[in-house]
Amino acid sequence: MGKGVFVFIFGMLCSIVLPAQDNTPKYSNEFLNIGVDARAFGLGLSMVSHTADASSGYWNPAGLSKMEPDHQLVLMHSAYFAGISNYDYGAFATRLDDSSALSVSVIRFAVDDIADTRLLFDANGSVNYDNIRFFSAADYAFLISYSRRLRVLGGLDVGGSVKVIRRIVGDFAGSWGFGMDVGLQKTWKSWNFGLMGRDLFGTFNSWSIADEELAEVYAQTGNELYSRSLEVTLPRVILGASRTLSFLDQFSLMTSLDLVTTTDGKRNTLIRTESFSVDPSLGVELGYKQLAFLRGGIGQFQQIKDFDGSQSWTFQPNVGIGLKIQEVAIDYAFTDIGDQAAGLYSHVFSIKVDFNVVD
């Protein structure tokens, strides 16, 4: 019965979001699709069905109600493109009672200290390095998430996130955006199922552009300058399943699969149509006494064209390790091992700290 409910809801979500994909640009707010938490990167980002900590506010807010400690703090850092850009994440979650939880999350992806050389030459045509100014191109997201366990279907976890997005490009342009995510989780025997609707009703970013800062450059290049524009991020639906098995009394093995369905037309993914695309990701986690963990995952399947004109499939393999000592968990992931995918590899570090109220 639980499986049937998930299939029904998945079909309803698709019927809502697919008609809206015409004439909408792809890759809007793409920094929100990178992922958070080193454990998730080690698992190939397949998290929707089994996430159960403070990072659930991002992955699937329904998982917050499964969080074991009373309070939890998560911090993550990663650098991309040889340190040119920095990606940081933090979240704090707290249990409200035995069946509900609340979290606050912050995400920042930025390229800092970009040189503005428009005034490099002074009025006399001489180079004046003192005129160089520096600015940042930064994307921020702020999420408030809530989850509750319902007494239906033997226990169904539901949750939602409201997010505010702020994007800035120095003093030249900036935008504010608002969106909502909704998720479900269901446990059946040793299986976990998850359903996540990200940007479920569309996320809208309203951009404002500083005319006075760019007017001269646009006039020289013959481009038309717009002072305002609206950017829409279409929904994506993520269906996940995972299973955990125990063996030899001290070991556990968790396998997970996520199917990420985008609704903005054909993308370069493993499964694609004119209306939607599906990108699968898989992860495996081997645990020892719930203290030490070894992880592996694959995802981001893409077809690329080689120099000889032939086409081949690539994917991104990730590995990770984790160590939990009492209330502190430290995780590390190394993405794109062996340079299999088109992107560059990255090191991802995160730490989780549990806080329990002492009676």
Q: Which residue did the predictor score with more confidence, 282 or 120?
A: 282
C-beta atoms surrounding 152 within 10 Å:
10
Q: Average pLDDT of 321-336? A: 94
Q: What is the pLDDT of residue 319?
A: 95
Residue in 48, 53, 99, 49 with CA at minimum distance from that of residue 73: 53
Q: What is the pLDDT of residue 218?
A: 63
Q: Which residue did the predictor score with more confidence, 210 or 58?
A: 58
Q: What is the pLDDT of residue 21?
A: 46
Each residue's pLDDT tens digit, 42-51: 999 999 999 9
- Residue 3, φ and ψ in degrees, nearest 5: -65, -40
Q: Average pLDDT of 218-227? A: 64
Contact criterion met (CB below 8 Å) for 166 and 174: yes
Each residue's pLDDT tens digit, 199-216: 999 999 998 887 666 666
Each residue's pLDDT tens digit, 80-114: 887 889 999 999 999 999 999 999 999 999 999 99
- Maximum Cα interatomic distance, the chain, rounded to a whole number of Å: 79
Q: Considering the chain, what percentage of its residues have pLDDT values greater than 70?
A: 85
Rounded-to-integer distance, Cα 207 and Cα 291, Å: 47
Residue 354 has pLDDT above 80, yes or no: yes
Strands 328-335 and 311-325 turn out to be: antiparallel
Tell me the CATH number at 37: 2.40.160.40
Contact criterion met (CB below 8 Å) for 174 and 165: no
**Range of lowest pLDDT (13-17, 33-37, 248-252):** 13-17
Residue in 240, 237, 214 with CA at minimum distance from that of residue 226: 214
Give the mean pLDDT of the chain: 86
Residue 341 has pLDDT above 80, yes or no: no
Residue in 273, 302, 300, 303 with CA at minimum distance from that of residue 21: 273
Rounded-to-integer distance, Cα 100 and Cα 81, Å: 39
pTM of the model: 0.85
Q: What is the pLDDT of residue 346?
A: 82
3-state SS, the chain, equals CHHHHHHHHHHHHHHHHHHHCCCCCCCCCHHHHCCCCHHHHHCCCCCCCCCCCCCHHHHCHHHHHHCCCCEEEEEEEEEECCCCEEEEEEEEEEEEECCEEEEEEEEEEEEEEEEECCCCECCCCCECHHHCEEEEEEEEEEEEEEEEEECCCCCEEEEEEEEEEEEEECCCEEEEEEEEEEEEEEEECCEEEEEEEECCCCEEEEEEECHHHHHHHHHHHCCCCCCEEEEEECCEEEEEEEEEEEECCCEEEEEEEEEEEECCCCCCCCEECCCCEEEEEEEEEEEECCCEEEEEEEEEEEEEECCCCCEEEEEEEEEEEEEEECCEEEEEEEECHHHCCCCCCEEEEEEEEEECCCC
Rounded-to-integer distance, Cα 201 and Cα 182, Å: 10
Determine the structural domain holding residue 75 and report its residue range: 2-355
- pLDDT band at 2, cuts 50/70/90? very low
Rounded-to-integer distance, Cα 297 and Cα 218, Å: 45
Residue 24 has pLDDT above 60, yes or no: no
Q: Which residue did the predictor score with more confidence, 222 or 196?
A: 196
Domain count, the chain: 1
Q: Which one of 172-176, 206-210, 274-278, 292-296 scores highest in mean pLDDT? A: 292-296
Residue 33 has pLDDT above 50, yes or no: yes
Q: What is the pLDDT of residue 344?
A: 57
Report the first-to-last Cα separation within the chain, whole angstroms.
Answer: 40
Rounded-to-integer distance, Cα 51 and Cα 44, Å: 13
Q: What is the pLDDT of residue 17?
A: 47
Contact criterion met (CB below 8 Å) for 137 and 114: yes
Residue 15 has pLDDT above 60, yes or no: no
Each residue's pLDDT tens digit, 121-168: 877 888 888 888 899 999 999 999 999 999 888 889 999 999 999 999
Contact criterion met (CB below 8 Å) for 208 and 175: yes
